[in-house]
Structure 1
Amino acid sequence: MRVKLIASLGPSTRDYDQIRMLLMEGISGFRINLAHGDLAFWKSLISSVRRAEGDIKRPVAVIVDVRGPSIRLGNFSKAISVKAGDKVTFSLDEFSPEDKIIPFPNEEVMEKVREGDVFVMDDGRMRFKIISRGKKSFLAESLTDGVLKPEKAVSFPEREFNMPILTEDDVSGLESMCDEVDYVGISLVRKGEDILYVRNIINKLNPDIYLISKIENKSAVENLDSIIGLSDAVLVARGDLGMNFGLEEIPMLQRRIVRETLRMGKPVIVATQLLESMMSSPVPTRAEVVDIANAVEEGVDALMLTGETAAGSYPIEAVKWLKKVAERAESFYSINVNRMGESVKRRYAKGVVELAEDLGGKLLIYSMKGTTAAIISSLRPKTRTYVGVPSIKVARKLAIMWGLDTRVIPADSYYDGLDKLYTDLLNEKELSEGELAVLTYGLRDYEQVIRVRRVSTADSL
């Protein structure tokens, strides 16, 4: 399967055996959300992922989402049901389930909201309108039925708040986990400067970490090109997009974000509600199946499950269905992207890909840092593509990129690494007698070698 699968971890998938099962079902990356849980919980999840990775012997990416400038309800003892028309008070420091007073510990929000403002939560399923406000609270009318739960994200579509892109807790969490993290998901990115700020901090902790910009709000959509250009990858966060735009806008926004990200040669992930019904059902809806197939056709690098695996009742079944639908979609659709580009590396990668395609051969690459492999992935080669890399850290970052079958092959040189990759594939019977293989490595300044080899089993050890 070319498209990669990512699962969010949480209460439903906190045990080692569950994580191992998810890996065996085809998961290539695991997401951990710093907005929920504590340091001990997060570190235990990462430890289980690395143990399972060693058992399965397949590199897997760990993605950590920082909380960032998200606006959330406070922590309170029990969920509160509300009906359309109910009046609810949101307070800086009070809680009363009987009087429907909900803690909302955010002073900037209290200062900036006004009467008439509409805010949403629970992926847009709950909507409120502010009808009066004071210094430490505001009163809102519920426009929908729903349930208010502790620490739920809240969005004010028509207002922006001057909150830091990383909280102190985010930085503290990353400091403790930076050696085991492959990607950091930046929540609620607004502009390119946000990414530069985060990268400056991350580079001091672990410069090998890649940054994923989550496109969630209107500012991010307005500044899309600069955000993509400064990011290592992009995530279409449909949950928050659905709270900041009309739901009817989401399909077009998704296509635009995916198209622009692929045009700029960066990996792109689609997330949220891919299999929402499987939070409580062992079988998806027809609409969800179509949604997954459409994302595959658009050419996304990876499909990410969120609540389905973090808190759902059927996490393993959800991954099985995601894989089943994605595989069927890939057998039907042909992914085509614009392969043109200005850089020498991209033009070189395009030439290598099209040579392998024209010859009907398999493509073998040895990549020291993963840069050339990532570019080749962005071109969506129609031929099977194998990548050898010198370390597990490089392999983990490539694990969620489209179409790459990555192997850790320590080597003293590009030539040595490429020969070892070829021999390993031959011994594993991934290469067949008589077929063609195109072998190359990352673009170098002074010389480049591309080899076309007719496979012979006599070459095996």
Structure 2
Amino acid sequence: MQHLRVKIIASIGPSSGSPEVILRLAELGVSGFRINFAHGEPSLWREWAEYVREAERKTGRPLALIGDLVGPSIRLGRVKNPIKLNAGDRAEFRCVEESEGGDTKIIPLPVRRVYEVLDEGDLIVMDDGRVRLRVLEVSGYSAIVEALTPATITSRKAIAIRGKDPGLPTLSQRDVEHVKFALDNGFDYIALSHVRTRDDVDALRLIVLREGGDAGIAVKIENKSAVENLQDIIRAADLVVVARGDLGMTYGLEEVPVLQERIVAAARSVGKPVIVATQLLESMIENPVPTRAEVTDVYVAVRQGVDGLMLTGETAIGRYPIEAIRWLRKIITRAEQVLHIERYTPKDKRWAYAASIVETAEKLSAALILVYSITGSLPPWIAASRPMVPVVIGTGSPQRARRLAVLWGLDVRIVEAGGYEEGLAKLEDVLSEEGLLSEGDVIVEAYRETEHKQVIVVKRVFKGLT
């Protein structure tokens, strides 16, 4: 199967949480799987993680596992029966863990702090901005609201108060327990929800280090504080996620495309990998074919130079998870056939070295760029340079391979070796056996021999050897 430059990340949920579906998604080219800790419980997440590792063994491809923390998101309690509202209907938010729902129209919201900051006239939004409720009255830990849009309200939905931040802690004790779970079960990235400042990122990294973990930190940009502190947050992170769902609730929907472009550019300008998430193929939750607008949306994201695209509800709860991945792959493939991506000037010595490798390969019309990585420091900068020449990365560490699997353009292989030159030689053998190297091909190899010695080697393939 053709290797994609832009990577696909799929969220696991009831629709995809079986070994058969996860394996099929991996076979279709999914490079990373996300598990949302806002839903389900540890025994289920552990089972899903095991299915991903099983799919990894069967496909022979490293697959990243991303654990998504709940963070200070405001979520409803348990609604036993869906609450359906028409525009103009009234309902009551009440500080309880669960409600019967249905015709009682009592919405459980067990977060006391929310009622302390709510005022008459406030706008409550949910469902990624599609549902809007106006606050009519607040009394103690209860609030009467009027629906401005039709709504179907179910358990654990996230809500936002337009223009207000209740000031909940970024990391709760439950989040800390979820971090420990992720580290104990070999997750490769931990996604920090509703990050506000660089201090939030540093706090999570301290917990990871204290627990002896090695997971990367993904920051979800989804509120005004994060946008205001964008550069500092991005520099502190390992991966950036444009969380369009909550951005659409915090800002007006018309602002989301502008914010996406800004966040993607800010991440790419400093060489940080960036993923766009939410409502990419939203209609495919119920339909086997996307809309033309969704196809265009994906195409635009590819042209912006994102590292990856993340499906959420489409694969977690949708009726057509496999078809959604097929369509996403089809759109990316077509977009990459006419790809022209803006490149940024390196602002780091390691990035400048990586850019020189890419420039050399492109000037020579090389067949491949080969990198053997021991520390994992060079490949992200190769990806940041957005090479048009195919890149194959070899590494002896499965953990490092998984972290690299969701970065732009990297075809990552696990190759055990005692040093750089041995690793490259083994990588050449593997690629020759797979038919990816042909006689006459020019290849460019690169590695950091020491902290101060960087090596670029140009070779030509002769009779299957170099």
Q: Distance in 1 between the 2:36 and 2:464 partners?
A: 50
- TM-aligned CA deviation for residue 127 of structure 1: 0.5
Partner amino acid for 1:240? D
8 Å contact kept, 1:426–1:457: no
8 Å contact kept, 1:43–1:177: no
8 Å contact kept, 2:443–2:460: yes
- State the SS of the aligned residue for 2:80: coil
Question: Which segment drifts farther, 44-53 or 93-102?
Answer: 93-102
From 293, 300, 307, the counterpart of 2:306: 300
Partner amino acid for 1:348? Y
Q: Distance in 2 between the 1:431 and 1:335 partners?
A: 26
Count of equivalent residues = 459
Equivalence map 1:15-94=2 (5 Å): 15-93=18-96
- TM-aligned CA deviation for residue 64 of structure 1: 0.5
Q: Distance in 2 between the 1:129 and 1:120 partners?
A: 9
1:276 maps onto 2:282 in alignment = yes
8 Å contact kept, 2:224–2:250: yes
Q: Distance in 2 between the 1:303 and 1:344 partners?
A: 28
Q: Deviations over 1:133-190 (max 9, x none)?
A: 1112111111111111111000112111221212222222221231410001111111
8 Å contact kept, 2:126–2:158: yes
Q: Distance in 1 between the 2:143 and 2:353 partners?
A: 59
- TM-aligned CA deviation for residue 448 of structure 1: 2.5
- Name stretches of at least 5 consecutive residues in structure 2 with no aligned partner: none
Q: Distance in 1 between the 2:18 and 2:302 partners?
A: 30
TM-score, structure 2 normalization: 0.96
8 Å contact kept, 1:366–1:442: no
Q: Distance in 1 between the 2:236 and 2:132 partners?
A: 34
Q: Distance in 2 between the 1:99 and 1:458 partners?
A: 73
Q: Deviations over 1:184-243 (max 9, x none)?
A: 111111111111111111112244200110010111111110111101010011111111
8 Å contact kept, 2:437–2:464: no
- State the SS of the aligned residue for 1:108: helix
Partner amino acid for 1:48? Y
**Residue identity (%):** 45
Two-structure CA RMSD over aligned residues (Å): 1.3
Q: Distance in 1 between the 2:451 and 2:377 partners?
A: 14
Partner amino acid for 1:8? S
Equivalence map 1:115-194=2 (5 Å): 115-179=120-184, 180-194=186-200
Q: Distance in 1 between the 2:140 and 2:127 partners?
A: 26
1:253 maps onto 2:286 in alignment = no
- State the SS of the aligned residue for 1:12: coil
Q: Distance in 2 between the 1:69 and 1:186 partners?
A: 10
- Name stretches of at least 5 consecutive residues in structure 1 with no aligned partner: none
From 389, 395, 398, the counterpart of 1:389: 395
Q: Which residue of 2 aligns with 1:354?
A: 359
TM-score, structure 1 normalization: 0.97
Q: Distance in 1 between the 2:203 and 2:92 partners?
A: 36
Equivalence map 1:216-295=2 (5 Å): 216-295=222-301
Q: Deviations over 1:316-341 (max 9, x none)?
A: 00000000010001001222311x22
- TM-aligned CA deviation for residue 458 of structure 1: 4.9
Q: Which residue of 2 aligns with 1:204?
A: 210
- State the SS of the aligned residue for 1:163: coil
- TM-aligned CA deviation for residue 37 of structure 1: 0.2
1:414 maps onto 2:454 in alignment = no
Partner amino acid for 1:74? G
From 5, 10, 27, the counterpart of 2:8: 5
Q: Distance in 2 between the 1:395 and 1:210 partners?
A: 12
